[in-house]
Chain A
């Protein structure tokens, strides 16, 4: 059974940092693109970043470029999102999502989500 479990969320002050983790199991992690998608309270879904199987390609939405870094450790079946210089508008539930074996932006498995709150 495919499972994605996020951790590392919580309350942080504006300008602070957090590192989200996503533990994957039930599939060959190194064979898939992976993404982070977020959802602000009461709002829609917003794609944040994705990373190729070997980490050689990474893409970000403009609003997080230079502040967030996506990475992965295939030996540990884990995906990460380092978030620096956090802003109030980054407050959201962050989902880890499995992409496909190609770069196609489609997400067939999602974690349960982890809440990040940026507030003084």
Chain B
């Protein structure tokens, strides 16, 4: 199963809001509320920002929010800050425990804070 499509890059100015989309199908992302989002700074391990579509782990800023409509999940970051500049990956249950994969990640989106 190929990576879930995400925009290669998005950008915004400090204080603005941006949204990153993640597109799946009715077999995977669209049928399960099992979408998570990860932030990865260069050379660092990924960090969980959102799980089960819209839940925020303890310690993650409420500027980060998640949603889903049909086969598309979205991550919105409000009040952009310089430290938000990073790569962002969506992740979803692939809809099957067998072939080709149990879990599928998005291709990743590079967020630039102007």
Contact = CB atoms under 8 A, between A and B. Distances in A.
Interface of A: 35, 37, 44-47, 50, 59, 61-62, 95, 104-113
A104 B93 contact: yes
- Kindly state the interface size class of chain B when it binds its partner: 20 to 34
B101 to A, nearest CB: 5
Interface string B21-64: 00000000000001010101000011110011000010000000
B58 to A, nearest CB: 10
B112 to A, nearest CB: 17
A50 B91 CA distance: 14
Interface string B76-96: 000000000000010111000
Given A44-B3, A44-B108, A45-B89, A105 B45 contact: no
Contacts of A105: 34, 36, 91-93, 102-103
Interface of B: 3, 34, 36, 38, 40, 45-48, 51-52, 57, 89, 91-93, 97, 99-108
A111 B102 CA distance: 21
Interface centre among A59, A95, A113 (most CB of B within 10 A): A59
Contacts of A112: 45
Interface centre among B45, B48, B100, B104 (most CB of A within 10 A): B45
B89 A44 contact: yes
15 contacts: A44-B89, A44-B107, A45-B108, A46-B105, A59-B97, A61-B100, A95-B46, A104-B51, A105-B91, A105-B102, A106-B48, A106-B52, A107-B46, A107-B48, A108-B48
